[in-house]
Structure 1
Amino acid sequence: MAQVQIVSDGPNYRHQIHSGAHALVADEPASLGGQGAGFAPFDLYLAALSACTAITLRMHAEKKGWELGEFRAELSSRRDAADRLVVHRVLHASAPLTDAQWARLLEVVEKTPVTKVMREGATITSERGV
């Protein structure tokens, strides 16, 4: 499905993440001992969800023949009283959409592949490399 590699390449917590021909930097903010040189881990978590959100809704709109114009999703996270992560999405489209179109997009966004995995959880395994 997906494959990435992360390599420590700099001071403190700076790392290069590679996926095929693409690369980005991960780091912690200075307040946590990093250099603030790239996305923090939870920024990447929200970035994955926002990318899936935007791509899925753009695909759905295209299939329906709907014009979204510029689409934007703003995501934020916080911890609730039980210390569970709560993610909130606010969706924007510059093109005028009807209430029925927005209702459908809000239904679709609840079923994006990354949304489903994040809600279900994942089995994560680890092993020592050679």
Structure 2
Amino acid sequence: MAQVQIVSDGPRYRHQIRSGTHQLSADEPFALGGQGAGFAPFDLYLASLSACTAITLRMYAEKKGWDLGEFRAELASSRDDAGKLVVHRVLHASGALSDAQWARLLDVVERTPVTLVMREGAVITSERGTD
């Protein structure tokens, strides 16, 4: 499905993430001892969900012949009283969409692939490499 590699290139917490020919930087903010040189881990988590949100809704709208215009999703995370992560999405589109079309988009967004995986969780395994 997907494959990435992360390499520590210093200083401190800055890392380079690669997927195929694409690359981005990850780091911690200054407040956590990083250099602020890239996305923080939870920023990447939200970025994954936002990308899936935008791509899925764009694909759906194109299939239906709807003009989304410029689409934007704003995502924020927080913790509830029990400490559980809560993600809130606010969707915007400059295209002239009816209330019924918006209702359908809000229904579809609840079932994007990344949304479903984040809700169900994943099995994560680890092993030592042989370098």
TM-score, reference length from structure 2: 0.99
Aligned residues: 130
Task: Give the SS at the match of 1:24.
Answer: strand
Instruction: Calculate the aligned-residue CA RMSD, in Å.
Output: 0.3
| Residue 74 of structure 1, CA deviation | 0.1
1:10 Cα shift? 1.6
| Correspondences of 1:17-96 after superposition (within 5 Å) | 17-96=17-96
What is the identity, as a one-letter code, of the residue corresponding to 2:71?
F
In the alignment, structure 2 segments of 5+ residues that lack a partner are none
Q: Secondary structure at the match of 1:56?
A: helix
Q: Aligned letter for 1:7? A: V
Q: Percent identity between the aligned chains?
A: 82
The two structures have a TM-score, normalised by structure 1, of: 1.00
Shift of 1:56: 0.1
- Uncovered stretches (5+) of structure 1, i.e. residues with no partner: none
Give the Cα–Cα distance (whole angstroms) in 2 for the partners of residues 94 and 106 of structure 1.
16
Instruction: Give runs of ≥4 in structure 1 deviating > 2 Å.
Output: none
> Could you tell me how far 1:73 is from its partner in structure 2?
0.1
